Amino acid sequence: QNTLSLSSCFAQNYFYFALGCTEFVLLVVMAFDLCVAICHPLLYAAIMKPQLCVRLVVAAWVLGFALQSYRLLFLSELSFCGSKIPHFLCDNSPLFKLSCSDTSLLWKIDSVFLSCVVLGSLCLTLTFYIRILSCVLHLPAASERRKALTTCSSHLITLSIAYGSCIALYTCPAENISLRTNRIVALLNTVLYPFLNPFIYSLWNKAVILALNKSIARARTKL
Instruction: Supply the pLDDT for residue 203.
Output: 58
Answer for the pair 60, 33: CB distance below 8 angstroms, yes or no.
Answer: no
- What pTM value is reported for the model? 0.79
Summary mean pLDDT of the chain:
81
Domain boundaries, the chain: 6-222
pLDDT of residue 177: 67
Fold of 6-222: Rhopdopsin 7-helix transmembrane proteins (1.20.1070)
Q: What is the C-alpha separation between 182 and 93, in angstroms, rounded? A: 8
Give the residue from 85, 86, 74, 90 showing the smallest Cα distance to 17. Answer: 90
Question: Per residue in 112-130, pLDDT tens?
Answer: 888 888 899 999 999 999 9
pLDDT at 29: 92
Instruction: In whole angstroms, give the CA distance from residue 183 to residue 164.
Output: 15
In this model, does residue 60 exceed pLDDT 90? Answer: yes
Across 113-117, 164-168, 179-183, the highest mean pLDDT is recorded for 113-117
Q: Which of 52-61, 97-106, 155-164 has the highest mean pLDDT?
A: 52-61
